[in-house]
């Protein structure tokens, strides 16, 4: 099992040059990238008050990750309410890390896959398009710097061909591709609002 040291790394903050470089790699204006970060994490910090990457553990993804594996582990996760089949079955706790750590004790990789990480809240199972060899590598990098977190956002967006949506300010198309098809108009509205504020 990987030693994540309570998920506390160097936690180096970004500067505006990092944002500008990331926007250039995506091919969008800086305000469009700011809009994405604002919707995902408030565009203030990729770290919580304890210096850990901002993270949200998703039990329905953990359920999906475990379903075809060891049935004993799967049943334990369900019994502990760490895994369930449908998003929103239970409210999120104020701090997801206790649930993540309990999930890691059952299956580290599946647990890390089932969480979204850092400034852009890139899901752990997207570690490869984010530019990492493993999800563990992705999490350790997210612990070290917001620049790395931005790199994961850029990797995910460019690998999946989403940069043009940002360049065109096509918020519904970007929302559908980045956040899923569940609440496209809600996310699109938030992106448009955040973009307007970034341009003000």
* pLDDT of the residue at 1: 81
137 CB contacts (<8 Å, ≥6 apart)? 127
**What is the chain's length?**
200
Could you tell me the pTM of the whole model? 0.94
The whole-number pLDDT of residue 97 equals 98
The pLDDT of residue 180 is: 85
Residues contacting residue 200 through CB under 8 Å, at least 6 positions apart: none
pLDDT of res. 181 = 80
**Domain ranges (residues) in the chain:** 5-45+125-199, 55-117
What does the pLDDT read at residue 64?
97
The pLDDT value given to residue 28: 98
Measured distance CA(60)–CA(103) in Å, rounded? 12
| 170-to-21, 28, 158, 178 alpha-carbon distances in Å | 21, 11, 16, 12
The mean pLDDT values, 10 residues at a time, for the chain of 200 residues are 92 94 97 97 92 97 96 97 91 93 98 98 98 98 98 98 98 94 91 94
């Amino acid at each position: 099992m990987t030693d994540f040291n309570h998920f506390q790394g160097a936690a180096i903050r970004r500067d505006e040059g990092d944002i500008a470089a990331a926007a250039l790699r995506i091919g969008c204006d800086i305000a469009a990238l700011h809009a994405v970060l604002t919707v995902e994490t408030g565009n203030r910090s990729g770290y919580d008050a304890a210096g850990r990457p901002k993270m949200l553990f998703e039990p329905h993804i953990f359920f999906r990750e475990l379903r075809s594996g060891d049935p004993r582990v799967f049943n334990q996760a369900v019994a502990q309410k760490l895994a369930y089949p449908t998003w929103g079955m239970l409210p999120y706790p104020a701090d997801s890390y206790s649930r993540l750590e309990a999930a890691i004790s059952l299956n580290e990789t599946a647990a890390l896959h089932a969480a979204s990480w850092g400034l852009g809240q890139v899901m752990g199972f997207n570690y490869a398009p984010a530019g990492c060899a493993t999800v563990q590598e992705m999490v350790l990098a997210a612990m070290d710097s917001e620049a790395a977190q931005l790199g994961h956002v850029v990797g995910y967006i460019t690998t999946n061909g989403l940069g043009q949506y940002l360049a065109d300010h096509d918020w519904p198309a970007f929302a559908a591709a980045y956040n899923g098809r569940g609440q496209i108009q809600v996310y699109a509205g938030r992106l448009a609002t955040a973009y307007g504020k970034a341009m003000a």
